[in-house]
Amino acid sequence: MLDSNIQFLKGVGPNRALKLQKLNIFTIGDLLNYLPVKYEDRRKVKTINEISEPGKYLLKVKLIEKPKHNRIKKNMTIIKAICKDDTGFITLTFFNNDFLMDKLITGEWYYVFGNVKIAYGKLETTNPEIESADKDWKAGRIMPVYGLTYGLSNNEITKLVKTAFEIYYNSIHNILPEEIIKEYKLTSRKEALINLHFPSDLRKYSLAKKTLAFEKLLIMQLGLFNIKNNFLKEISHIRLNNKDLAERMLAYLPYKLTNAQFKVIDEINEDLKSNKAMNRLIQGDVGSGKTVVAVYTMLVAVSSGYQASMMAPTEILALQHYATIKECIDLAGLNIKAEVLTGSTKAKERQEILRKLKDGELDIIVGTHALIEDNVEFKNLGLVVTDEQHRFGVRQRAKLSNKGNAPHILVMTATPIPRTLALMLYGDLDISLIDEMPPGRQKVITYVISEKEKERAYDFIKKHLDSGRQAYIIAPLVEESENLDLDSATDLYEELKSSYFSGYSLGLLHGKMTSGEKEEVINKFYEGKISALVSTTVVEVGVNVPNATVMLVLNAERFGLAQLHQLRGRVGRGRYQSYCILVNESKSKKSRDRMNILKRTNNGFIIAEEDMRIRGPGDFFGIRQHGLSKFDIQNIVNDVETLQQVRLLSKKIMKENPGLTGPGYQNLKREIANLFKDETIAFN
């Protein structure tokens, strides 16, 4: 029933169905699972004399005279309606709502909900919601606010959700087995959904939120555990136990590895000599030396007679890794053939690389997504390395590993994630941690300033540019937003180019540029042809310019601390003292506390733990961090305890009932298979 086409729900039809599809709502079930982004509290009706400051209010008012209707422009009309209650008067103003002239009846009472402004002691609200007082079903309730698309109002979606509940409420079945619902004091799925759309009180809302969070996390964790188990069951006939080339490289390095790096190398070597395919994640802060550990592992593969590949999410990062690998090989004087393959590799060169790879003439290949294309063939692939794990799904890793006979897999990420979350997100991987920085690496000095001090920051940047250094200036949005008063990268670039930095070479970088345009700008910055780069967070990963010494982040309060730490990691990569300046425009204590964490420490894992403690796991993920939108758990996970409970329960289920058999488990099994339909799931 819940998989019925949304088009056939009363009030939808073909045209509205197309609009709903833009929100990924195709079925009744999709609509019921389309949760509000926030809520409006309409439980209390205010009297006019209670309103002393601007804000959103619910009023019950009487229309005291016929509304005035005027055309003020060719395509704009205005309606002015004077209303009152027992305590005062208010003017309702409507733009381009001509249909209301037939609905607004003098002497009738209405519920009005909207933003009230106060000017010279008079109250006015523009384009408020208005309903007759004898039939408005929203007054006295907490009402949902949904994410919208063009042509669909919040009112329309709210009514459709209400209709869906009226018709299909009894078709909503539990996904969690009854025993789990009782043991963890959760509620039924139908009660959880209705209280997330139309919460009657805070207690029921909190229980509903916990239930759905628990459900979603359990589905994700069991799916990842199954993938991991399937990988581990895969007997690997690839023995990588010749460490001669790798140890030779270490001997020629101009520095000694840290104890943390040696510890991870030991863990990797244990995996490589077992009879199971390695499936390990290296989590390490920016600059902690993950790449050298990866190169060591690749050299073990090569000296054991196999090929190794490394996949990175961007061409810039792939080229950087290739340069590091070549440097390590050349330092040790090793006779190893390595190449780089990306989307912009020329056809003739590409053809030759593919031939060498297939014939076994290449030992190491570094590249982007180009490596997983069907025409890329290996002679004997023994090791697959992927960088920045959250940019690649399990399926993409599997596609690359399928080019060999159960090769070993090593994954790297510089994104600091609290261990509690890492265990959840990377449930299909064993985790190694490089939690020690190489000696001698400079600490980036961090300042937190207010918006008023921005010009001083610009002067500070100029001094560095004048001495031959470079800088980043980060703006959070690409274009102007009507809803958020934030600096956009494009506008900021134009403003700074014509004012503060008119005598300097400025560059612009943002996510809406083509990959070719991005590469051109980054290369110019790397070559020193651009002094200061105005950018969005696309520089967060993979831009390495040792000459850049200042990172200025505007509206820093809008970012997660982990993301700010990643941005800060773009400077301090050379021999010059570097600085990160965060412009905090929020006056809240919470925001000040968060910024001060960055001032106190450069340890990404401490920062991530503190950020999660202050904001909660749901907020920690941010809007798009870590590629988790697929699992839809942003803003729904609100306590670490739930994460820990789910992980322990998942382990117990995998031990006692790995096939998910028995009463109540079929729906859970189906949901896992559906979520991971692109991945390898097989319950045993």
Bridge partners (DSSP) of residue 356 are none
Listed range (132-146, 327-341, 372-386, 492-506) with the worst mean pLDDT: 132-146
Judged by DSSP in three states, 410 sits in strand
Cα angle at 622 between 620 and 625, to 5 degrees? 100
What pLDDT, on the 0 to 100 scale, is given for residue 249?
95
pLDDT over 90 (residue 336): yes
Listed range (366-375, 408-417, 587-596, 618-627) with the worst mean pLDDT: 618-627
Percent over 70 (pLDDT), the chain? 86
Beta strand pairing status for 408-413 and 279-284? parallel
Listed range (225-229, 307-311, 520-524, 554-558) with the worst mean pLDDT: 225-229
pLDDT digits (tens, 9 = 90+) for 219-261: 888 887 776 666 555 566 788 889 999 999 999 998 889 999 9
For the chain, the average pLDDT equals 84
> d(Cα 390, Cα 412) in Å, to the nearest integer?
9
Give Cα separations from 6 to 1, 146, 150, 553 (angstroms).
11, 17, 18, 44
Q: Spell out the alpha helix ranges (H) of 622-682.
A: 640-656, 666-675
**Residue 244: which H helix or E strand, with range?**
helix 244-252
Listed range (29-38, 232-241, 320-329, 471-480) with the worst mean pLDDT: 232-241
The residue that leads in pLDDT, 615 or 672, is 672
Beta strand pairing status for 55-63 and 76-84? antiparallel
> d(Cα 540, Cα 523) in Å, to the nearest integer?
16
pLDDT digits (tens, 9 = 90+) for 557-568: 888 787 888 889
pLDDT over 90 (residue 61): yes
Q: Band of the pLDDT at 486, cuts 50, 70, 90?
A: low
Q: Among 664, 604, 679, 681, which residue's Cα sits nearest to residue 182?
A: 664
Per-residue pLDDT averaged across 445-471, rounded? Answer: 94
Proportion of the chain in helix, strand, coil states, percent, rounded to 5: 45, 20, 40
Percent over 90 (pLDDT), the chain? 40
In one-letter notation, the amino acid at residue 385 is: V
What pLDDT, on the 0 to 100 scale, is given for residue 365?
95
Per-residue pLDDT averaged across 441-454, rounded? Answer: 88
What pLDDT, on the 0 to 100 scale, is given for residue 684?
46
Asked whether 52 and 33 are in contact (CB, 8 A), the reply is: no
pLDDT over 50 (residue 160): yes
The residue that leads in pLDDT, 528 or 141, is 528
The torsion defined by the Cα of 257, 315, 374 and 307, in degrees rounded to 10, comes to: -20
Which residues neighbour 350 within 8 Å (Cβ) at sequence distance 6 or greater? 341
> d(Cα 192, Cα 205) in Å, to the nearest integer?
8
Q: Among 128, 392, 178, which residue's Cα sits nearest to residue 281?
A: 392
Half-sphere exposure of 94 (CA within 13 A, CB side): 20
pLDDT over 60 (residue 634): no
Q: Among 454, 474, 469, which residue's Cα sits nearest to residue 569?
A: 474
The residue that leads in pLDDT, 683 or 574, is 574
pLDDT over 90 (residue 608): no
The residue that leads in pLDDT, 519 or 447, is 447
Q: Band of the pLDDT at 628, cuts 50, 70, 90?
A: very low
Asked whether 40 and 143 are in contact (CB, 8 A), the reply is: yes
Whole-model pTM: value is: 0.63
What pLDDT, on the 0 to 100 scale, is given for residue 231?
55
> d(Cα 542, Cα 70) in Å, to the nearest integer?
57
Per-residue pLDDT averaged across 192-206, rounded? Answer: 90
Q: Among 110, 119, 117, which residue's Cα sits nearest to residue 85?
A: 110
550 φ, ψ to 5°?
Answer: -130, 130
In one-letter notation, the amino acid at residue 378 is: F
Give Cα separations from 652 to 225, 256, 641 (angstroms).
11, 42, 17
Q: Among 213, 211, 202, which residue's Cα sits nearest to residue 39?
A: 202
Per-residue pLDDT averaged across 600-627, rounded? Answer: 60
Judged by DSSP in three states, 149 sits in coil
pLDDT over 80 (residue 615): no
pLDDT over 90 (residue 505): yes
456 φ, ψ to 5°?
Answer: -60, -35
What pLDDT, on the 0 to 100 scale, is given for residue 425?
65
Per-residue pLDDT averaged across 510-520, rounded? Answer: 78
> d(Cα 450, Cα 557) in Å, to the nearest integer?
11
pLDDT over 80 (residue 389): no
User: Computed over its alpha carbons, how large is the radius of gyration of the chain?
Assistant: 29
**Token pair recorded at residue 653:** 């289920």
Which residues neighbour 554 within 8 Å (Cβ) at sequence distance 6 or greater? 454, 473, 474, 475, 476, 486, 487, 492, 583
Q: Which of 343-347, 441-445, 461-465, 544-548 has the highest mean pLDDT?
A: 461-465
Q: Among 117, 205, 214, 150, which residue's Cα sits nearest to residue 18?
A: 150
Other residues' Cβ atoms within 10 Å of the Cβ of residue 84: 14
In one-letter notation, the amino acid at residue 328 is: C
In one-letter notation, the amino acid at residue 215 is: E
What pLDDT, on the 0 to 100 scale, is given for residue 612?
67
Q: Band of the pLDDT at 548, cuts 50, 70, 90?
A: very high
Per-residue pLDDT averaged across 31-59, rounded? Answer: 89
What pLDDT, on the 0 to 100 scale, is given for residue 580?
96
Chain-centroid distance of CA 3 in Å reads 28
**Residue 444: which H helix or E strand, with range?**
none
Bridge partners (DSSP) of residue 27 are 5
pLDDT digits (tens, 9 = 90+) for 83-111: 999 999 999 999 998 889 988 999 999 99
Per-residue pLDDT averaged across 383-405, rounded? Answer: 68
> d(Cα 409, Cα 272) in Å, to the nearest integer?
10
> d(Cα 253, Cα 194) in Å, to the nearest integer?
61
Task: Provide the sign of the torsion angle of the four alpha carbons 164, 169, 174, 179, taken in this order.
Answer: positive
What pLDDT, on the 0 to 100 scale, is given for residue 391?
47
What pLDDT, on the 0 to 100 scale, is given for residue 314?
78
287 φ, ψ to 5°?
Answer: 85, 10
pLDDT over 50 (residue 623): no
What pLDDT, on the 0 to 100 scale, is given for residue 630?
36
The residue that leads in pLDDT, 419 or 125, is 125
What pLDDT, on the 0 to 100 scale, is given for residue 323?
86
> d(Cα 517, Cα 521) in Å, to the nearest integer?
6
Q: Band of the pLDDT at 74, cuts 50, 70, 90?
A: confident
Per-residue b or e along 494-516, where b marks 16 or more CB atoms closer than 10 Å to that residue's CB: eebbeebbeebbbbbbbeebeee
What pLDDT, on the 0 to 100 scale, is given for residue 385?
92
Task: Provide the sign of the torsion angle of the four alpha carbons 138, 62, 90, 127, taken in this order.
Answer: positive
Q: Among 495, 500, 459, 504, which residue's Cα sits nearest to residue 475?
A: 495
Q: Spell out the alpha helix ranges (H) of 60-201.
A: 154-168, 178-183, 189-197
Listed range (300-309, 312-321, 619-628) with the worst mean pLDDT: 619-628
Q: Band of the pLDDT at 395, cuts 50, 70, 90?
A: low
pLDDT digits (tens, 9 = 90+) for 640-679: 677 778 888 988 998 898 888 888 899 998 888 887 765 5
Asked whether 286 and 573 are in contact (CB, 8 A), the reply is: no
